[in-house]
Structure 1
Amino acid sequence: MIRKATANKSCKRHQRSNLWRNCTNFRTLKQIHALMVVNGFNSNSHALRELIYASAIALPSAIHYAHQLFAEISEPDIFMWNTLLRGSAQSSKPSVTMPLYAQMERHYVRPDCYTFQFVLKACTRLSWVNSGKVVHGKIVKHGFEWNKFTRNTLIYFHANCGEIRIARALFDDMAKRDVVASSAMTAGYARRGELSMARRLFDEMPEKDLVSWNVMITGYVKQGEMESARELFDMVPKRDVVTWNAMISGYVLRAEYQQAFELQREMRSAGEYPDEVTMLSLLSACAESGALDVGEKLHSSILDMDEGEMSIMLGNALIDMYAKCGSIEKSFQVFHGMKEKDVTSWNSILGGLAFHGDPEECINLFEKMRRTKFAPNEITFTGVLVACSHAGKVHAGRRYFNLMKNQYKILPNIRHLGCMVDMFGRAGLLEEAFEFIDTMEIKPNGIIWRTLLGACKIHGNVQLGRRANEALLKLDHDESGDYVLLSHIYALKGEWDGAEKVRKLMDDSGVKKEVGFSLIESENRAFLQFVLDSKRQIESRNRTIVDVKAKNVESVT
């Protein structure tokens, strides 16, 4: 017990002034730093603590600057070390936390109970199991296993990425009545897919906080059990934005877009305002369902929410949504209106232009991108090669393909190779397309052969079409469209015996024509209109073939 008391005694909280509250942006932070340098940077330890807290915690985007400041401090105390560890653990690069702790050990700075909580959180985020076990050993060595908060962090680490039996032993030993520990165990079981165990623990909890509810709902959503998730969602005493986001994202992942939109309306009616995560899920739903009107309303809400500013992620999502909904002009407006961009911003607009808009403009914009600080990646070149294919620019396509390999050192993937085959096929260079396939280092998949088969149909090449079809049949996919394409090639060339043989082969192989459908919108709701390939439709199709054949015979005679 003396050991426990000593450990907890070292966990005193440090008082903070309001200096960190004044650091509302990076510019102010640098001004305060400059003022401290003028007055003697290392002369006031209390002000140093405030500066490190402001740069590492209050301004998460300034964590790199916090590390630079920390390096200038001659004798940082435990509060400064812990603050930088905490900021690093919750930053976009938590991997710097462990080296920072190792540096702390080399300086013989004795850790307190907060130290290991931050290091363990970094290990959990990175799924660094071995490093987490080493930290567990150090916690025992320093006598902090008795500390409630450290123990709960240990439970969370082992439950989520360590050993569940260790987490359970820690939980059963002293934490069963702790709601945080119960939530950690529930989250661990849910993340591992053991929903029955998670639900049993959840139901046994004497007190359930909102985190516990959100953990269980998220667990069901990730496993695709939306009915169970909705049952708990309706039972939550008080929801927060995380609760709503879990359900909305679940519906989007299951392509139940109308339910996602309806839930968003319920969310607003309940007085809960969406955050960036909500908007990203809903914009994805608009992009996939083609709900342009909903997307435009979300765009207005984002501008109101952020007072005209928006994050890079939201800007990229808007570009993608407008492009997929066919509004390339608005994609351009969002792109040009973004004050900050990343390579994904460029990829989004290039992809939108290539697939849904103007391939010529896509190629021009790519040349502009090459003059910026953003280096194109494999996704960029996919969009550019698609644009070259759609625009019929074979020479440019070859040049960009070689540029990707030789200058940017990007290995072509199956998408790039498929774009090249499609480009040759559209241009009628079927022989070159087959030669390209023969030299591919990656085995061609069904999509590539099917692309080539479609090109053979367009250009009426029966011989090469037969070869592409044979390659497809060897893949054992038995897609009805493959048979239909080859049959059409024969029919277009007037080789009716060949067309009938393909149809017979299709029937003998037991391949059924897939149900066709189209998406229509009525009263702001999307519906799937199915077009069944019924017996009457098949008979009508066969009669058409006979009529065309008879007309060809008459024209010859």
Structure 2
Amino acid sequence: MIRKRSGINRQRRPSIWQKCTDFRALRQIHASLIVNGFNSNFRHLRELIFTSAMELMGTIEYAHQVFAHIAEPDIFMWNTMIRASAQSSNPVKAIALYAQMDNRSIKPDNFTFPFVLKACTKLFWAKTGTAVHGRVVKFGFQSNPSVRNTLIFFHANCGDLKIANALFEDHAKTDVVPWSALTAAYAKRGDLNVARQLFDEMPVRDLVSWNVMITGYAKQGEMESARKLFDEVPKRDVVTWNAMIAGYVLCSSHEQALELFEEMRKIGERPDEVTMLSLLSACAELGDLEMGKNIHRYISEMCSGDLSTILGNALIDMYSKCGSIEKALEVFRAIRDKDVTSWNSIIGGLAFNGYAEGTLDMYRKMQRTTIRPNEITFVGVLAACSHAGKVDEGYRYFDHMRSECKIEPDMKHYGCMVDMLGRAGLLKEAFDFIHSMKIEPNAVVWRTLLGACRVHGNVELAKLANEKLLGIRKDESGDYILLSNVYASRGEWVGAEKVRKLMVESGVKKNRGYSLVEAYGNALMHYLFDSKPYRDQET
């Protein structure tokens, strides 16, 4: 939907542009300019470029089309297009426009370079940004405060930290912007001691500085330090609250994250999408369905229109992990713009909850769309085949993934196949499959085979699987106990005792007891899904 950007003062602009509130009006005004012969008037062209590039959302491509037909754009038009492109989802165009300027020998001004450098920072293009820095020096803009601060921000985030420090020491210490940029850079790199030293030495601290430091501590899991600063900050905004809530979720302190959200609501701070994503993650990990439903209600109140794709995907994940697949399906159907993550989330959710037929049916529906499956999709599909005992179908999907979708299997796909063969009692086939893998099998794959040997009482293959496990790791008590139980299930008590003795001699302590379901079936499912493989974005 095309809509007007907020925060722009339009009051001093000509009335014709004040009336331009959507794409239709923009095109009508443009047509009027052409008909009345004003299309060569630079004042009108500037207004047209600025309105289409900066004022209206969703019209930047139109701005590029208009700009391409202007014979000799002035520096204001170049800067407007570079700025809008740098702020867009495709900042590469800002670099391309700057290159065109350079090729035409059009001299940039002090507004040009900050926009170009912001695009380089957004893209993490260190070499390009360094080359732009050279042009800054050539044209004599390095002493300009705005250009210098943007250079510090660029080098601090993706360039050379030594250069950022040198620029900072050279007349930049009186400005809070470079202080915040350097503090953030050190915090992102995990050097919290230097970041805190900069923070403590700041002559003036703005809210950005506080948020940078709180976020730095939270990301490193130092929640006590983060909370201390959070309690001291003179004024909080939603970013401050989000940093703390996300930090608690990251540290698995999910109850504290939810408590902080309640505190946030009580003081009247309005949450945003980032807040909701963290809270949904907390509910998913806790399995707290009721709180998850409450968060869903907050989201419905917050979003007056359609549910955003990213929030919808997080809701599917939460409902799936809380065991409410019906609600997960309801949310899935409500998402208008489904992406590959939407499909992966519901396919993985169905598989995780044991709905094998539903998983495969959902994949078949996905095939009828324009969205292509990826490696994450097939984790859910293969896991469903495993749980349903569909060995032939599992092989077909495994081959389909490689031959038709051109996706090379990774450890999770191989683990699903071994699990499928093991559940079906095809232990020798599972063993041969492991040896045919193109990548070195890990401990989870061998543990899966060992668990299957326990279920089906195959001592010889269990010994081989255990040998492979001990070659990878020797400190997991569950590996020894599984093999011991294989011997015990066959009444071979001497073998069982030898394994227990080996465990003691190796100094391995027995963990708390757990059922075979936990040790074997759920172990693989957690390996496949707890790392959130069907959630493609960082929420």
Q: What letter corresponds to residue 187 of structure 2 in structure 1?
A: A
Q: Is the 8 A contact 2:443 2:473 kept in 1?
A: no
From the CA coordinates, give the structure whose radius of gyration is larger.
1
> C-alpha separation between the residues in 2 aligned to 1:454 and 1:330?
33
> C-alpha separation between the residues in 2 aligned to 1:488 and 1:419?
23
* Pairwise CA distance, 1:50: 3.9
Residue 367 in structure 1 maps to residue 369 in structure 2: no
> C-alpha separation between the residues in 2 aligned to 1:493 and 1:143?
84
Q: State which of 162, 168, 171 in structure 1 corresponds to 2:168.
A: 171
Q: State which of 97, 103, 115 in structure 1 corresponds to 2:94.
A: 97
For residue 69 of structure 2, what is the aligned residue in structure 1? 72
> C-alpha separation between the residues in 1 aligned to 2:379 and 2:96?
38
Q: State which of 458, 463, 472 in structure 2 corresponds to 1:461.
A: 458
* Pairwise CA distance, 1:196: 2.1
3-state DSSP of counterpart to 1:374: coil
Q: What letter corresponds to residue 178 of structure 1 in structure 2?
A: D
Q: State which of 418, 423, 426 in structure 1 corresponds to 2:415.
A: 418
Q: Once structures 1 and 2 are overlaid, which stretch shifts more, 120-129 or 347-356?
A: 120-129
CA-based RMSD of the aligned residues comes to: 2.4
Q: Is the 8 A contact 2:316 2:331 kept in 1?
A: yes
For residue 382 of structure 2, what is the aligned residue in structure 1? 385
Give runs of aligned pairs for residues 260-409 of structure 1, distance below 5 A: 260-409=257-406
> C-alpha separation between the residues in 2 aligned to 1:431 and 1:30?
69
Tell which has more relative contact order, 1 or 2 (C-alpha 8 A, sep 6+): 2
Q: What letter corresponds to residue 384 of structure 1 in structure 2?
A: V
Assess, with a 3 A threshold, how the Cα gap between structure 1 residues 299 and 434 changes in structure 2: closer, same or farther. Answer: same
Q: Number of residue pairs matched?
A: 506
Q: Is the 8 A contact 2:38 2:44 kept in 1?
A: no
> C-alpha separation between the residues in 2 aligned to 1:61 and 1:96?
15
For residue 7 of structure 2, what is the aligned residue in structure 1? none
Q: Is the 8 A contact 1:14 1:79 kept in 2?
A: no
Q: State which of 474, 478, 502 in structure 1 corresponds to 2:471.
A: 474
Q: Is the 8 A contact 1:487 1:502 kept in 2?
A: yes
> C-alpha separation between the residues in 2 aligned to 1:20 and 1:467?
77
For residue 215 of structure 1, what is the aligned residue in structure 2? 212
Residue 244 in structure 1 maps to residue 241 in structure 2: yes
3-state DSSP of counterpart to 1:175: coil
Residue 53 in structure 1 maps to residue 46 in structure 2: no
Q: Is the 8 A contact 1:19 1:50 kept in 2?
A: no
Assess, with a 3 A threshold, how the Cα gap between structure 1 residues 516 and 119 changes in structure 2: closer, same or farther. Answer: farther
> C-alpha separation between the residues in 2 aligned to 1:181 and 1:55?
32
Q: Is the 8 A contact 1:283 1:295 kept in 2?
A: yes
3-state DSSP of counterpart to 1:467: helix
Identity of matched residues, % = 64
Assess, with a 3 A threshold, how the Cα gap between structure 1 residues 351 and 66 changes in structure 2: closer, same or farther. Answer: farther
3-state DSSP of counterpart to 1:390: helix
* Pairwise CA distance, 1:151: 1.2
Residue 489 in structure 1 maps to residue 486 in structure 2: yes
Residue 433 in structure 1 maps to residue 442 in structure 2: no
TM-score by length of 1: 0.85
> C-alpha separation between the residues in 2 aligned to 1:441 and 1:34?
61
Q: Is the 8 A contact 1:189 1:195 kept in 2?
A: yes
Assess, with a 3 A threshold, how the Cα gap between structure 1 residues 188 and 80 changes in structure 2: closer, same or farther. Answer: same
Residue 503 in structure 1 maps to residue 500 in structure 2: yes
> C-alpha separation between the residues in 2 aligned to 1:318 and 1:25?
32
Assess, with a 3 A threshold, how the Cα gap between structure 1 residues 477 and 119 changes in structure 2: closer, same or farther. Answer: farther
Q: What letter corresponds to residue 171 of structure 1 in structure 2?
A: F
* Pairwise CA distance, 1:24: 5.8
Unaligned runs of 5+ in 2: 1-9, 516-539
Q: What letter corresponds to residue 305 of structure 1 in structure 2?
A: M
Q: Is the 8 A contact 1:60 1:87 kept in 2?
A: no
1:33-90 CA distances to partner (integer Å, 9 max, x unpaired)? 6666666693454444344434433455554444334323333332222222122222
> C-alpha separation between the residues in 1 aligned to 2:19 and 2:241?
33
